[in-house]
Chain A
Amino acid sequence: MSRMLPYMLLLPATAFLCLFFLYPFSLVAIDSVTRDGVYSLENFQRMAGHWKFGSAFWNTMLLAAAVVPVQLVLALTMASIVSKLQTGRSTILYIFAIPLGISDLAAGLIWLSIFEQSGFLNSFLVGLGILDKPMLLLGYQTHWIIFLAIVLAEVWRATAIMMVILVAGMGLIPKEYGEAAQVFGATRWQRFYKVTLPMLKPSLQTALILRVILAFEVFAVVVALGGTQVPVLMSETYQWQFALQDRGVAAALAMVILGVSVAFTLLILRLLHVPKEARP
């Protein structure tokens, strides 16, 4: 009985995953390669043939490329600050983590109220006399501002999730390494670069995988700020499923997102690989 107990305890979660994740996932996978009940690649052809697919794909990639590195640097900085603190550590941690508690659509709407034509930024600039009338920021002629607004919103919203993982990871690094480096005269920067960062690899791996996958799934923030003007893979999936009522092509797009996510997960796993004997 006691040998079986761990498996019994795992059973509910496993059943839940199979029923609500694996089963629908296999349905979607089948949907993506069938059309009218026959196996075919037509869904993928239609998807790739649509004039917006290219820009949706590259927008998603560009967004991930712009957002994740900024978040990595910010999260490392924030985590270092939090780990060094003697007093008020949990208060600061809570404050840093506030955006995590807000849904991504709400986050998008907050930033929309800043960037709108009648939003806070415009009122502020007009109030200061820099502009004489509110200017259209999120228009089709200024895609780069929409893009920038999305990057800002994403950085604001989702940096904390990386930070939380990195704080936990920094807590696991034995103090002795840092102290030894200090005895040998390493500067703060050298200690961070040569001791903390390599020791942090496992947490970095987790944080980056999580964040990169989430970046490929970016949706609500983009829709709130850009409408249909900045297509991304996820918004195109939604469009094909609900507006165009074509489940096959939507499933094909979902498979592309899956493929990209898996590819980048493998890449990160490889780049940040820590050999077993080198783990603390």
Chain B
Amino acid sequence: MKNQTKLLSGLAAAMIALMAGPALAEPLFWSTQAKPVEESQKMRADVLSKFSGGVDYQASDEGPWRTRIDAELKAGKGTITVLGGLHGELSGLENNLVDLSAIDHVSIGDGLMQLGKLGTSEQKYIPWMQATYLMAADKKALQYLPQGADLNSLTYDQLIAWAKATAEATGGPKFGFPAGPKGLKHRFFQGFLLPSYTHSMVSNFRSAEAETAWNKFKELWQYTNPASTNYSFMQEPLLTGEVLIAFDHVARLADAFNKRPDDFVAFPAPAGPKGRAFMSVIAGVAIPKTAPDMEQAKALVSYMLKPETQVATLRATNFFPVVKTDLPADLPPSVKVSGPAITAMTEAKDALPTLLPMGLGDKGGQFNQVYVDTFERIILAGQDVKQVLNDQAEVLRSLMKDTKAPCWAPDAASDGPCPVN
């Protein structure tokens, strides 16, 4: 009996050691990216497994992500080794990030590196991967394209006409828009629709041009599948055929291209009177001042920039490399379909690049909410456009005043907080 107890306690001790052992040694990569379970698993198995000692990759929503890093910073002691997040998520943490200028980054473009300084003189984060948003369509819908419209240089008016013709021909609205709770609808208003009409994301929020833009979207909404308010990722409704034309983040369209590469096309976002606005999404890796092992952290950041890691990341997340590297030929169809469309958009004559919000610190969520609320009030609740824009402009203005965030592209640079006219 005594022996048995000994054996049991020995076993229990061994189990605890087994469970705790590797977890202690593995550096924690605390990220807001590659959040869907399959993507997180690919990050662990295909991207990070070759880092010596292994990596504990954990992805979470921005809120909890920020709460944990804030708590560790407040405690002055942490377990997070490397932070992964979008440009806007990392900005606001700049006083608590380690300078990374010593890390070899020759193969990353200067423009991207500049963003990583977050407006300081130090390299606060190193660009990790990039993506953007695109339009996608089922080839069945191409026959309804309005006369004279070129898929690679559509305007918003042509898109509306196309969505209308498709709806009339197929018996129901077939444009799709990620307006679900986890959908990235706010990015469409911030980086595509509003800048295309106003050349601004913040300053001209309630201008007459902005009113036009929202009225155009209202028109488009008539031909939008009403189930859109439940869609978070457009790849699924495209695959089921509930939707024939859609807008979403490339990573959220990838599944459709990968499963049926011959059935879908990708094309640039439409243009408005002020140009073809599109938003670039830059994710970066950074090291918090509270990282438990600085050497290991820097080694992990360098590891993320290796060309083979970057290609593996592309396969895992559909985010494109930030380093110049030759892409292998056996990449998934989604990359082959979206690559040319991205080039067509970024290199269009009327291209108007916009950036993710920056300098808002932990108020990024409230900034997005201004656009989401505007959408819900104008489009879903049918409230008066001018009235809603005036109301929401007040919220936006006090937010910009609170955060003192200066303007970013496409708004003209400002001294002090970005003004809301």
Question: Which residues of chain A have a CB within 8 Å of any CB of chain B?
Answer: 51-52, 117-118, 136, 138-141, 223, 227-229, 241-246
Binary A-proximity of B211-249 (CB < 8 A = 1, otherwise 0) = 000000000000000110110000000001010000000
Q: Does B10 reach chain A (CB closer than 8 Å)?
A: no
Evaluate whether A245 and B226 lie within 8 angstroms (CB atoms) in the complex, with A117-B242, A227-B181, A228-B181 already known.
no
- Minimal beta-carbon separation of B362 from chain A (angstroms): 4
Name the residue of chain A whose CB is nearest to the CB of B66: A245
- Minimal beta-carbon separation of A238 from chain B (angstroms): 9
The answer to whether A227 touches B362 (Cβ under 8 A) is no
The answer to whether A245 touches B365 (Cβ under 8 A) is yes
CA distance A118 to B240 in the complex (A): 10
Name the residue of chain A whose CB is nearest to the CB of B65: A242
CA distance A85 to B162 in the complex (A): 66
Within 8 A of A (CB), among B368-403: 368-369, 373, 376-377, 380, 391
CA distance A140 to B368 in the complex (A): 20
Binary A-proximity of B328-371 (CB < 8 A = 1, otherwise 0) = 00000000000000000000000000000000001111101100
A140 contact from B362, B373, B377, B380, Cβ within 8 A: B380
CA distance A250 to B10 in the complex (A): 48
CA distance A140 to B137 in the complex (A): 24
List 13 other contacts, CB 8 Å, given A136-B226, A140-B380. A51-B373, A117-B230, A117-B242, A138-B230, A139-B227, A139-B230, A242-B63, A242-B64, A242-B67, A243-B368, A244-B366, A244-B369, A245-B363
Contacts of A241 in B (CB 8 A): 63
The answer to whether B227 touches A136 (Cβ under 8 A) is yes
CA distance A175 to B307 in the complex (A): 82
CA distance A51 to B369 in the complex (A): 12
The count of residues in chain B whose C-beta lies closer than 8 Å to any C-beta of chain A is: 25
CA distance A117 to B231 in the complex (A): 12
CA distance A48 to B365 in the complex (A): 19
Name the residue of chain B whose CB is nearest to the CB of A227: B181
- Minimal beta-carbon separation of A162 from chain B (angstroms): 31
The answer to whether A140 touches B229 (Cβ under 8 A) is yes
CA distance A257 to B323 in the complex (A): 51
The answer to whether B229 touches A229 (Cβ under 8 A) is yes
Q: Does B180 reach chain A (CB closer than 8 Å)?
A: yes
Name the residue of chain B whose CB is nearest to the CB of A249: B366
Contacts of B67 in A (CB 8 A): 242
Evaluate whether A227 and B227 lie within 8 angstroms (CB atoms) in the complex, with A140-B380, A242-B63, A244-B365 already known.
no
Contacts of B364 in A (CB 8 A): 245
The answer to whether A245 touches B373 (Cβ under 8 A) is no
Contacts of A118 in B (CB 8 A): 240
Q: Does B295 reach chain A (CB closer than 8 Å)?
A: no
The answer to whether B230 touches A243 (Cβ under 8 A) is no
